[in-house]
Structures are given as structure tokens and as C-alpha cells.
Structure 1
């Protein structure tokens, strides 16, 4: 047994070298560099021999380690001929003459983060490749921007509102890759739309793509650490729209007005990742508040994880030149009482600036001429792109310079006077506070608008006050200054708005329903009042004339594009009806000078007054409509013994009978669909309604007269008050000429 063991061990020792040799061969074979690996991106270009200038620039800019394999990447490489042309174009005799920061910016723009094959650059999918063919073809090519290693050095800027110095971090540039799928999806001609922004380049992307200003001459060269693409030009780094505007003095007015809204937003992630290396505790992003797009920021979204938006979205800015801005001021704001562009209200100017921004991506010339490009207020950008001399592709969108501009659709709408007139700018803040401005620019609705002056709004102790963070409407109260709530502003705006009519009559009478339910304007012979103000004439001691003169306000010699706008005289602001309602008025009336005194006395005698605010049979209804006989008609009927439940002396003989009789003068929304109070031409149509007593009431609107009928007895609404209903929150009444 021992001999066998010894023999076995001896044989193993003798044959061990052969085993080791065999294993070594297999290991070498396994780890042998495959033939398809060509070396790093640096080595691939170095082996080709015609990229020495580009590689020299890469090394000087400090990017050689990542080219050699420290990181995966995609390289857009110009050959020596292309790089020499770039040096000559910019007046350099040698790469060493280029400022190092500028060189980093240029070379970094050729180095994309991550490794992209041709298919991914043609049709990048932010959701990944594990998607269906249908999903793959959705918005194909429109995720066209890719992050590069090009960025500007941080800048130190002074925050105007605080005087503090802020270190602004500039994010890596995204490079646009315009593939044939991009143009196919947009249904645009590739060559003409591409060369519009790149007139010194040629579209050669059929079946592939152009990379910003460069065409690709060779695709998808595989390297150990990514892909290399050969391009025919050095790719010029794109700047932000903000930088383009800043560098062109022809747009200084637009730029300076835009820049007045500058804010510096602290970025915790950037501060943590890069602050220490830059010697700063805090890093900021240069934005322009919440109401204007951040055209100074390289990325659409500053969130690194927001790949889809950063790859697809951009801004188009159609900046009016200084000449265009001055002409607009002369023809618009100066006529509204402003003395200069600097004098124009900040909110009006923010809306003005926003008129010239398209937030849904790059707008190409063919899209503009087809009328597809509209701003958020539905304004079509109507100009001839072929006549635009200043235009540029930017890292965050495109810039067009306009030498002439039309009045923006919002500024030419019925709310135009709030934008134009200096003495109406309080109302602009109300419109803005309600979020209704966009609705008022709609061309689908015709409006009639009353625009109150600042003085009229101040009559309610509402004032516009300016603070470091902007202006806002505030109201004087017993507790001091409080911000005017959006609900209060909406109520004021709605009571000044009507629809469904062409305008206000200057002769005769007219009733217009406002946007505040059951509140109206009453027009008589060129004067106007609100239903709430009109109710004052019910008061026996009233000496106030409820009607005010009104004047139409036009857009120069033209009407506003979606209706008519008026201003009314006086210092009081039109208000919605509030406070004591119809039931209260009837419950507490004991003064025989009121036009409804006799009817109120009948209610009391019938035991129907339950409190100072409720009447038996009417409580619980949101709205009631009463047809109340005049005092004279009731007195005559009592004397004639015509009131059921009451004798000729006015004594009650049956309270229940009298109650049922009086309820026949009311219709409630519990039994009837009441959408309007009655007046000639109102939305309350001629029909049979159910009274509070259960009887049928036939209401007839002839267009000029009103009448009712119960149990065959007809009564006519008297014309003494021009058929204007006395309207309250809980109901209204019309006076009729006889009892039923």
C-alpha cells in the first residue's frame, strides 16, 4: 500500500510541469487581448496619425487621462486639416496661443460623457433600450442633446437686491446631435433648417447625424473606452441665450430688462461636490425668478437625474431689438401715461418679456412660417425668418433678433388697459393674482370688461406696495396691513367682467350678467351701475346717484382683439352684493317708505318672519325670486277683501291660508333650476315654474315686458325701475302691478 502511494506521488511530480504548462497556455489564451479591441480612444487616434493637433490640444487641456482609458466616453475628433482651419479662423498660429480656459471649453465640447454607438446618437432613449418598437419610435431623435465635458469657469457676481457676492457655477454644456430621425419626426427639411443656424456648414446627416456645426465623416470607431467619430470641423462651443444677448448691443434694452429679474439660487448638491475645491462654501445658479425662463443656465433642468428634459427641451427667444422696444413704447405705453421704459410697471414688463419666449423647444424657420410656434398666451410668432439677421444656436435653445414687433396678443386683448395705462396697474396685479390673465387673452370668448382705476381700488383701502422681493396688493384692516387674498381679487375681477354681448349701449337700457353669479350691470342712457349699487335706491334716505358715466377704451383706433373694454367714472369700486339679503330686507321692514313695506307687513301678520334673516317657507333655499305687488296694489286689494286669510279691515282670519297665499309670490331653487334673475332677455326663460306654495306660476318674457300668471290671474312687472331686478345674494324681487 505504501509502495503504491509513493509511486502515485512520484508520477505526479514527474508530470507536474506538463500540467502547469498546459494550464498556462489556457490562461494566456483566456486573457489574450481580443483582436476587436483597438486600444484607448487616444491610441486609436494616435495610430491613425492625422490627429496630432487635436491630441495636442487634448493633452494641454488636461483631458489625456480620460482619453487613455480613465473614463468611458464618446469622442468627436477633427483631423489636423480641420483643426488647422479652426486655428486660422480664430487668428492663432499655434495651439499654445489659446487661453487654457478657452481650450478646455473647446476640447471638452468634443468629449461626451458615456459611450454612445451610432444608434444611440441617432435615437437616444432616456428610458433605456428595453422598450417596444412603438415606444422606440415615439419622439424619435428628439432626445438630441448630450452632456459634454465643456464648461465655463465659475464667476463671481454681485446680487443687486442684497449687494452680496455670489459664486455662480456653470454647468457642463450639452451638445446638439441633429440626426435624420430628428428631422423626420419634426417633418422638417433637414438641409434648409439646419443650415439656417449653421450657414458655414453642410448637412450630411442622411442616415446619420450632424453634431452641432460639424458633419460626421466616419462613424462608430470602436475603442477600449468608448467610441470615436470623425468630424469635418472643430465643434464651436455653444453659449447660453443669455450670453448671446449680453454680447449683442442691439438688444441691450431687452437684455437689461430681463436681467433686472436676476436671482441667484443656492444649489446644495453643487456646493457639496465642488465648493471646497473652489474655495467657496456656497455655489449658486444664475436664474431669473419664477416668472421668466432661466436663459442663463446651461441646462433646462438643474437636476442631474432629469435626463429626459435635459436631452430634449430648450427655449426659443425672439428678442426685440432696441429699435423695436422703443417703437413699442412710443405706440403703446407712452399713450398709457408712462414716461419711459424704466417707468413701466415691473409686472407689465415681465409679461412683455414672456411674450417673446417659446418654451417648447427649438423653433426652426419652417415651423415659424407654418404658424406652429406660439407662446403660452396663444400668440403666433408672425415674422419672416429669412429677414432675421441676428440668430444663433445656443446651448440651451436658440436666439432670434427681431427689428419689428406687433402688439402681443395679450397686450391687445380686453385687459390691454391694465398693461398699458399707468393709472390702472393695480388691476393688472389683481388679474395676475387670480391666474385669469391667460383666459382673458383667449380668442374663443368675447368679453366686455370694466377696468377700474387705481383710485377706485384704493377706495377699498387696497394699495400697491413695493418691497425688496417685488410689489403686491395689500389692504388696510383693523389688524394692520394684510395681503389681498386671491379670492377677494377674483371677486373684484369677476364683477368687472361680462360675456355674451357685443358691448355697452349708449342709449336705452341694458342688463348684463357678470362673471359673479346673480350680480349684474345695469346700463341706462350711457351710464352704468352694478346691481349691488343699484339697491341703494331702495333706501328712503338715499341721495346717492348709483349710475356712473362710462367711456370705451380702445387700442389706439382699433378695438381690442377679443371684446370691448370700458372705464367708469367716480371714485367708488364696483362690488359684488354681500351682507343683508332679500329675506332680511323683508323680515325687518317697518318703514312705510319702502316699496315693499305692505308686503313685508303681510309676511309679519301671517307669522312667517322666523328671525331677522329667515322667512317661513323660504329658509333653506339658496336663491328665491319674489314677484311683490306694489304698496298701492296691496292696499287696494286689502280694502276690496281680495287677500285670502284676511278681511277688508286688514285683520287676519286664517294665518295658514294667508301663508299659503303669500308663498305663491315666490319661486325657489329647491323646485326650480334658477340660473338667472328675471329681466327682459335674461337666461330665465318664459316657462311654468313651481311656487313655494306648490302652485304653478307662468312667467312670460316678451323681450321688452315681463308678466306672471297664477290661477289664471295675470300681473305685470312695473317699468318704474326699468325692469332691473333688485338682486341680493339669496334672491331678488320685481315689483308687479296687482295682487294675484
Structure 2
């Protein structure tokens, strides 16, 4: 009842007015206001200098649409623009233009919604207007269904209107894939610090004015019409190609496109698109969507940008860098086919990576190229002024034809030695599976040495990959025991990571002599390996007595790859076993400390395990020499003869045993492996905890060729080089000239 009353109160004065008025008075009440501007078509007629455009509007069948209601922005070419266009096309006047061309010109000049100049630079985001972030708008023009010949067969094809991401749909019915028009307004250009260089890079023969539409100038802006806004331009613009169309129609880049089409393009039947097409044409033909591989950064035929929000195409676009045929052929011959007999033998991921190296999911402005990264997160390595031979501003992005390829890390680093060789697929699979190893070894700005085992070497050692079950397999050559899945993967990951070695000064180009070096990345340290007289080895190789031999090498831009006959094996025995082996050598300087370790209750003589120390955990063993142990006895820190320093390895009571255990624990540094290379410095926790369970620390001081340890009382223990850097599982064992002592 309340709603009815409100309805009556609202409209009762109008009813009263209408029932007491003549027809003439009613018509006058609803008459179009005298001060309202005419619709776009009529306004163009009234302006007097759009006679050619109005003629094309009629030919295109848009007179009725633009002569009534609506909400448009029209980038309207004036008659002078058409005179230039007629001359370029070799025609006399607008009557020579067919309806299809007329429709292209008119529809591409029409932008959805009405925008004055001050709004064209603003982005209509899902949270509202965002000022000065837009340089494009969606037009009324779209290509729709196309007749094409694919592999010799005619078919009806429609382009993807979404990027083909995993789990997504590359074609959404009802979205016509409308083309965008690009403009250059002063507000956007100033806000993004762009200028005439960026504009003229695409339009070298045009003049940048602060309000350009593609290659033309806006000579009269903000002409108001009843159904929108008109901006008068001095150039006729036909809908530009999109990136896919540009590639397909450009013979200079045919090799690039052929590689795409042969490997990363599919034509997929679409039932809904077929129904739409058949209803419209009364044809029985089926429709296929041209679909790009989902691994690519974007689909070059998608006009919609990312579509993360409805209008994100207003504020950004794609970029594709395309090497001309000659440059690409050299790359194919010298790089891609170095170890493959033909392109069709290459794994698909190589093509995916190659094209992603040339793709940027953003509009790369020429003056700002250093601020962009490609889809592989690499900097752009194309010199805009010297390498770019063609620059086109297309409907869905920027196209740069180049005299060189984008020299991706993947094709010029030590990683390449495995990646582009079919004999190293197991290593490549591990590098590529999210381990992060690929990113480390392929970093072209950091030097590495890669020790690379072939598939044959790995399989002879028991490593393999089960394609059917998508899992790693390891079968022990000694026992025949098999492990699968994550355990097998962890094993091969560890031995391969031992072979990735940072060598900023190419330290391992000469493997004669001997030395020690840490593998892995600085942020993710690996294990220490050694070299000696042309052989390399890790802790496990010492245990198994099977050092690694070099079969050959290949130099890349960021280092050297050594081909090896074995893996850099990690140790599977407890660190105590390695310490025991050193300590029981004749006249070993490790002997006294080891005897105290055995009497501390921390050591299991059967297994070599030490309480608190687990396999696979980084440690640094700081072992006082026999002389240093004698001094500890003299100082009353350890039991024994305080005059001679002769130690008493058998504790007299539990208190003495506890003191020995605490002494021993304080010399085992946890969580970090330190050597005399300067890589590890600072406070490092020990195995010793206080009676309150608090951690204790020793300060590591390391520099190339030097290493020392400082306790909390500032006692310094210096390593003894010839007796240090012994390998154990993720551990280095050092002999030092002093003992360390924890004090409160």
C-alpha cells in the first residue's frame, strides 16, 4: 500500500497536467530541447567539412545508428584527410569506396562511450577512474570470422579473444574481439614521461602535437553531439592489423611465423562459434578457433589484453620483438641445430622459451625499453636505434621488427649445454622443473662452471625418469634397491646442484693443481667440492673412491661446461665417520679431540653418528689441534695433567663428562659451512645450548686464503690450512691452533 501511495504522489501532477492539455501542448512538453546539439551524423553534416565521412557512414549503413541515440566518441577524419587518402589509394572520391572498406573506416573511428579530451587519458578501471593511465580505447570494429587455408584446406577461423592460460578458455562466445585505437594525448604522455621520440618512432613522418590519433592530428577537439563527442582528425585510419595478422602477412618475418605455426598454434573446433556463424550465414561450415600455446605470455590474436579487468586494454598492450629471416636463420643454424639434426626434433619447450624471450606482456615504449623485462624475466637486449628495422603500432600491441634476435640467457649460458643437447634430457628436466637451477645456471650476468653428466652417465648410475608415472627413479647400482618420486628427485637434484659452481673469475678453467670451492648459489649454498690434477670430487666420491673425470668442455658466455663421466656424489655416512678417519691416521693432530668426543657420550662408534648432528644439515667442525687440547688441559678446561697437559680421556664422574660434552659441542658450528673463501662471516650458532636452552655462538671470520673463529671471550682460533677443509656430508672439518670456550 505504501508503494502505491508513493507512485500516486509522484505521478499525479503529471496525470493532472496531461488530462488537462491539448495534443499540441503534450508534444511541446516532450519536444527536443532547442539547445541540445544534434546527433553525430547531423553534427558532421552541419560542420560542413565531413562530406566524405558522412557519405561513408551512409555506405556503411551507420547513418541511422549515428543519427539517433547512443553514446560514442568519433575520431572523425575531415574532408582534407580523405583527399589525401583518395590520392594514396588512386581513387577519385568516396563513391569509389566499397561498403566493406567504408565499414572499416567508420567502425574503427567509433569508440564506445563518449570521452572529452580530458577523459581520454584516464583509465576506466574496476575501482573507478584512474587518471592519466590510458592511451587506447575499444572501437566498434572487429574482424570476426575469416576464411583461411590451413595446411592446404579451407576453413572458417576466428581468433582467440582471451590469452590461452592453463585451465582457461581461449574463446568466449559473445566477445567479438574488438580492435583498439591508440591515441597520444598530452596528459598521458606527460604523466608517463613520454614524448615525441616515442611517437615518431612509430610515425616518423608525422608531427607530434600533444593530441594525435595514430598517425594523424586532432585539429578540432570536443565537438559535442547529442549522442557523443567528435574529435576531428586530419588522417583517415583503417583498422590496423593485430600482431598475429602482422606476422602472418609479413614475408620478412616468415621464418619466425612458420616456427610458431608449426609448433605452437592449433586450430580447435568450437561448437558455440560454429552455431553463431551458421545462424548468421546459413552455412554448414564449422568454425575453428586459432589457439596459441598456453605456455606463451600472450596470444597474438587476442585483442583484449589480459582481461584481468574489463577495460585493462585501455592502459596497456602487448609487445612482440620479431627477428627478420636472415638473423633468425643464423640463430637456427648455429644455436638451435647445433646438436639436433632438424627443427622438428627439438622439444616443444625450446620453442616456448624462444618465443617468450621475444614477448613482453606490456607496451614497451622505445624510450623506456630498459625498464621492461620479457616473459622470461630478462632485460630486453635489442638496441632500439640500431637493431629495430620496423616499428608498428598495431591494434593489440607494439611490433618491433629486428635485425637480431633477443639473446636469451637460455641459449647462451652454461645451462644451454644441457638444454640444447638431446643427450642431456635428464639434467634439463631437473633444471626446468621448478628447482630454480635453470635460473641460476642461465644467469648470463654471473659466471658459472657447470659439471654436466649425460643421460647415459646418469642412467648407468641408477638415475632415470618414468614418463608414464611422471616421477624420478633411482636404483642403487650396489644394492638394487629402488626409490621413486620425491626421494629419487631429491637425490638427483643434490648431485646435479653439486655441479653448479659460481666462478666469478673463471677459477675452474684450469683444473691442474688442487683446490676447494663451494657449489650452488649464494642465496642457496650448495656443498663444497674439490679438484686435484684434472679430477673433481665431492665428499661421496672420497668415500666411494670414484673421482670424476673430465670428458670435454664447452665455453659459453657466462662460463664453462665440463662434460663428466660421474656425478659429484654426496656422502651418505655420518660426519663422525669422516672425523674418525682423519683422527686415526698416524700422528693425527685430530686425535686428542676425537678421543674426548668418544668419551663425551655424544658419539656412536658403531655408526659414527654424533648427537645433534644430522645428515644433510650444514655444519662446520672446528677441531683444536693436539697442542691446543694440551693447553685446554693446562688451563683446567679439560681433565688431565695440568702440568704436562697430558689429557685424561676417561671422565672421572658425570660432571667431568658433561664438561667434556659442552666443550665438544661448542666446536661444532651449526647451519653453515665455512671455508677460507670469504663467503661465510659472522656469528654462527653452535651445538651447545645453555642450561636455560639458549643458543651459543662463535664468530666466523673468513677471507680468501684465511679463516679464524672467535669465541664469546674473544679467544681466536686460526685454521691450519694444510690440515683443514676436509669434506664430509654438507660439512667441512678444520684443524685450528686454539680451543674455543663458552663463557657466560
- In 2, the alpha carbon distance for the partners of 1:501 and 1:276 equals 66
Contact 1:377–1:441 under 8 Å retained in 2: no
Structural mapping, 1:625-704, within 5 Å: 625=621, 627=623, 642-644=646-648, 646=650, 657=656, 660-661=659-660, 664-667=663-666, 672=669, 675-677=672-674, 679-681=675-677
1:582 aligns with 2:585: no
Name 1:359's counterpart in structure 2. Answer: 361
Name 1:523's counterpart in structure 2. Answer: 531
- In 2, the alpha carbon distance for the partners of 1:473 and 1:620 equals 27
Name 2:9's counterpart in structure 1. Answer: none
Q: CA deviation at 1:109?
A: 0.5
Change (3 A) 1:389 1:500: closer
Change (3 A) 1:548 1:56: same
Q: Which stretch shifts more, 212-221 or 603-612?
A: 603-612
Contact 1:373–1:381 under 8 Å retained in 2: no
- In 2, the alpha carbon distance for the partners of 1:242 and 1:675 equals 52
Name 1:173's counterpart in structure 2. Answer: 179
Contact 1:86–1:234 under 8 Å retained in 2: yes
Contact 2:449–2:501 under 8 Å retained in 1: yes
Q: CA deviation at 1:353?
A: 2.5
- In 2, the alpha carbon distance for the partners of 1:282 and 1:171 equals 16
Structural mapping, 1:377-392, within 5 Å: 377-383=377-383, 385=385, 388-392=388-392
- In 2, the alpha carbon distance for the partners of 1:490 and 1:688 equals 27
Q: CA deviation at 1:143?
A: 0.6
Change (3 A) 1:159 1:573: farther
1:511 aligns with 2:516: yes
Name 2:202's counterpart in structure 1. Answer: 197
Structure of larger gyration radius: 1
Match of 2:123 among 122, 125, 134: 125
Name 1:347's counterpart in structure 2. Answer: 349
**For each residue in 1:246-271, what CA deviation from the matched residue of structure 2 results, as whole angstroms up to 9, or x when unmatched?**
11112111112233212568999989
- In 2, the alpha carbon distance for the partners of 1:329 and 1:419 equals 15
- In 1, the alpha carbon distance for the partners of 2:384 and 2:709 equals 63
- In 2, the alpha carbon distance for the partners of 1:518 and 1:381 equals 31
Q: CA deviation at 1:551?
A: 5.3
**For each residue in 1:285-330, what CA deviation from the matched residue of structure 2 results, as whole angstroms up to 9, or x when unmatched?**
6333223322121221246x431x2112122222111110122234
Contact 1:584–1:614 under 8 Å retained in 2: yes
Contact 2:548–2:567 under 8 Å retained in 1: no
Match of 2:143 among 124, 141, 152: 152
1:569 aligns with 2:569: no
1:183 aligns with 2:189: yes
Change (3 A) 1:43 1:517: closer
- In 2, the alpha carbon distance for the partners of 1:714 and 1:80 equals 90
Q: CA deviation at 1:176?
A: 0.6
Structural mapping, 1:600-615, within 5 Å: 608=602
Contact 1:628–1:665 under 8 Å retained in 2: no
Change (3 A) 1:159 1:534: farther
Contact 2:381–2:407 under 8 Å retained in 1: no
- In 1, the alpha carbon distance for the partners of 2:156 and 2:667 equals 67
- In 2, the alpha carbon distance for the partners of 1:681 and 1:130 equals 56
Name 2:450's counterpart in structure 1. Answer: 449
Change (3 A) 1:496 1:391: same
Match of 1:294 among 293, 299, 306: 299
Name 2:104's counterpart in structure 1. Answer: 105
- In 2, the alpha carbon distance for the partners of 1:189 and 1:455 equals 57
Contact 2:679–2:703 under 8 Å retained in 1: no
Give the TM-score taking structure 1 as reference length.
0.73
Q: CA deviation at 1:212?
A: 1.7
Contact 2:39–2:66 under 8 Å retained in 1: yes
Gaps of 5+ in 2: 1-15, 161-175, 476-480, 631-638, 691-695
Change (3 A) 1:391 1:482: same
Contact 1:431–1:489 under 8 Å retained in 2: no
Contact 2:446–2:504 under 8 Å retained in 1: no
Change (3 A) 1:437 1:387: closer
- Matched residue count: 671
Q: CA deviation at 1:149?
A: 1.1
Name 1:332's counterpart in structure 2. Answer: 335
Contact 1:262–1:289 under 8 Å retained in 2: no
Name 1:549's counterpart in structure 2. Answer: 550
**For each residue in 1:391-416, what CA deviation from the matched residue of structure 2 results, as whole angstroms up to 9, or x when unmatched?**
32211112222234474455334434
Gaps of 5+ in 1: 1-16, 537-543, 647-651
Change (3 A) 1:492 1:641: closer
1:306 aligns with 2:339: no
Contact 2:155–2:287 under 8 Å retained in 1: no
Q: CA deviation at 1:173?
A: 0.3
Secondary structure at 1:126's aligned position in 2?
strand
- In 1, the alpha carbon distance for the partners of 2:232 and 2:488 equals 61
